[in-house]
Amino acid sequence: MRVITADEAAGLIQDGWTVVPGGFGCCGHPEAVTAAIGRRFRQTGSPANINLLFAAGSGDHNGRGLDHLAQSGLVKRAVGGFWGFAPALGKLALNGTIEGHNWPQGVISQVFRACSSRLPWIISRVGLNTFIDPDFEGGVMGAVGIKSLVKKVRFEGETFLQFPTSRINCAIIRGTRCDTTGNLAMDEEVSFQDSLAQAQAARNAGGIVIAQVREIVPAGSLRPHEVRVPGALITHVVVADLPEHPQTYAESFNPAYVAAGLPERPSSSLDRARHIITSRAVEELRKLSQPVVNLGIGIPADIGAMAHSQGVTDYTLTVESGQFGGIPAKGLSFGASAYATATIEQSSMFDFYDGGGIDIAFLGFAQVDSHGDVNASHFKGRAPGIGGFANISQSAKRVVFCGTFSAGDLQVRIDNGKLRIVREGDIQKFVRKVERISYSRAQGAASRQPAMIITERAVFELSGRFLKLLEIAPGIDIDRDIIAHVDSAIVVPDEVKFISDIHMQN
């Protein structure tokens, strides 16, 4: 193990290498090293044409994280799960400047393990009948003419998707500290991510492993159980401090993200639409006994606080990055949880998810169509990517999609317990055909998975492969406020219930 500077680390990366950058969303990214790689390329034109492989791409929406690498000529191909925090890199994929592929986040996490075992590919049911499927777009993000890397295969009478592994030349991971022999501890990192598998994959391919840490401590000062990546796997160490080693992009250090204890639940103070949606979602949570839950980005992230405000606490929240329990963080701390009760590796969490471990998932949506297919990954020239959405929505025992009925400056108010649409949103979300299928209702119906959609004005059931109206908010006119603003076919039964008055109170 050699201690080097970030610029020296950047100088090790060769043209055409396959590089795995660590981090999860807004947490744990080796910022000093990726910034140095971007800086070196601007100055010298090298490294050029590298290939990136990442699960939950890191960034802050504003140039940090993977967006240090968003330069024409630096990256040739990128295969990623979630791209939303690195919009500049995503833009290069959408316009064809780089070869971009979007795979399920959990699949990529499991690909890292397969790379370390030197397996040629993995197979998974996740992504069948979605845009990941080669019968559709095959996970290709942008330009026409890019060939999908995904294959559809039959094995013992069942259909799977086959995802290739890669030979990893360099893994860039992050920890809190390492000792003088390279043993890496992550005690102040919010999660373990895929650091071990990534290091093993690079090591077994004859590559290098660069670990960014905050400090180096004497050999023998770390207990074996503290070491998350053995020193035998790490070839180089870069010591960095703030601002290039924050715990999350929003917070330099928050002790709650690594501490034991019982959290104080946040109060729920939401705008009218969010209040109705999250309060109605809690009603679904009440129906289950001690469920394991996943909350998606956006409006679903507020359901935990709403549940607590209503006295609903007997459930376990999980985060894809590996946390059980606690309070998942939002914004530019996404990927952390305050006072989690346990933290496991990301790939192990997705093993649990893919096997049906989530009792109920509350997820956002951008579009839904007449067949009940949902788009959450590509819309209006943006491509945040599928992330863990495919793994979670396809494998959860029950899925609830939560979001406003329309988007783009929707304004509502409540008058005497009745909902009024002050201004309709500019962006229609109930469409004839979604831009890309992130959730296949055909797949969900085949597995008899209950699914519903909760908006501020209406609740729908995905019944078979159709949208069925179940409830409307008091004050809502079905023809004026719903049918007039959808292109998707909706089944309206003779009797439609009202959303409970409880959810209309703020």
Q: Which of the residues are catalytic?
A: 320
Cα–Cα distance, 446 to 394 (Å, whole number)? 11
CA of residue 247 relative to chain centroid, distance: 18
Q: What spatial distance separates the first Cα and last Cα of the chain, rounded to whole Å?
A: 58
Name the 3-class secondary structure at 181: coil
List C-alpha distances in Å: 86 to 56, 112, 330, 383, 437.
10, 21, 16, 10, 22
Cα–Cα distance, 160 to 122 (Å, whole number)? 10
- Is there a contact between 342 and 349 (Cβ–Cβ < 8 Å)? no
- Is there a contact between 220 and 214 (Cβ–Cβ < 8 Å)? no
- Is there a contact between 171 and 206 (Cβ–Cβ < 8 Å)? no
At 195, phi and psi to the nearest 5?
A: -60, -45
Token readout for 229 is 């990546």
The amino acid present at 233, given as its one-letter code, is L
Query: How long a stretch of residues is the chain?
Result: 506
Name the 3-class secondary structure at 367: strand
For 374, other C-beta atoms within 10 Å of its C-beta total 31
Cα–Cα distance, 304 to 282 (Å, whole number)? 8
With 0-12 CB in 10 A as exposed, 13-18 as middle and 19+ as buried, what is 218? Answer: exposed
Contacts of 36 (CB under 8 A, 6+ apart): 5, 6, 7, 9, 10
Cα–Cα distance, 439 to 367 (Å, whole number)? 10
Cα–Cα distance, 135 to 443 (Å, whole number)? 14
- Is there a contact between 474 and 501 (Cβ–Cβ < 8 Å)? yes
List C-alpha distances in Å: 11 to 15, 174, 210, 428.
11, 18, 12, 48
Strands 323-324 and 342-343: antiparallel
Cα–Cα distance, 349 to 353 (Å, whole number)? 6
Token readout for 329 is 């963080």
Cα–Cα distance, 23 to 335 (Å, whole number)? 9
